Amino acid sequence: MATFLFDEIIFGPVQSRRLGVSLGINLLPVNVKVCSFDCIYCECGFTPKKYKEKAILPTRQEVKQKLEEKLQKMAADGQKPDVITFAGNGEPTLHPEFAEIINDTIELRNQLAPKARIAVLSNATMLHKPTVFNALLKVEDNIQKLDSAFEETIELLDCPRGNFNLQKVVEQLKSFNGKVTIQTLFVKGEFKGNTIDNTTEKEISAWLVLLQKIQPKQVMIYTIARDTPIDTLEKIPAEKLDAIAAKVENAGFKVQVSY
């Protein structure tokens, strides 16, 4: 199925299902996806196994300049973002100057859009880096992916590149001491002869146990809404998402559902 890449460093604003009026920041190349996961549902398509040429990341200076220009223009037009969101063509925390860019973004936000939150959409694979972890503590919406409590499901659904240890990731998520939002995409289907369904009773029960360990301030649950790299995935119906959300609420967590 058709997928897309963000072709700018700063994109939007767009109306986000989860965050409101969102101004996006893409810290990855504009012509290729760079990620530590290769999720089979990613709207940006599959992560290349090999790159034809070196992937060029925007510099810290480029990001700051483009963000300042965009925020100034929005202010002049009477627009204000609800949130400035790090997303884009892959995993934003892979950028070697991620922490410094977060500091620049906080500075510009305070000057030009003081009511806007800063959000980072991340797959939690770089939390072992102290600079990344500490930078994430500075933003209002530290949103980390956790699609399953089973490593084998994550291997099928998220396809980690390189070593992935779910237990270590959970410990790192616990270390945020509640200053983290857990984001989970629910989906079912087939891929390479394997059946995938992270909405089963077994999956949900084990996932809730991990939420109790992590103690996030919020849980975001959603399903596919755009084209995916494969056509064998099914969108989870609203009533099923609502049933999962009810279990999250009964476990004592604030939950947001996007259909």
pLDDT per position as a tens digit, 76-103:
999 889 999 999 999 999 999 999 999 9
Q: Copy the structure tokens of residue 102.
A: 């977060």
CATH numbers and ranges of domains, the chain:
10-258 (3.20.20.70)
pLDDT, residue 249, reads: 98
Q: Which residues of the chain have pLDDT under 70?
A: 1-3, 51-52
Sorted by sequence, the CB contacts under 8 Å of residue 3 that are 6+ apart come out as 42, 43, 44, 45, 227, 228, 229
pLDDT, residue 3, reads: 67
pLDDT, residue 16, reads: 78
pLDDT, residue 5, reads: 87
pLDDT, residue 138, reads: 98
Angle between helices 166-174 and 201-214 (to 10 degrees): 40
Which amino acid is located at 138 in the chain?
K
Cα-Cα end-to-end distance for the chain: 20
187 DSSP β-pair partners? 235
Q: Copy the structure tokens of residue 87.
A: 């997303």
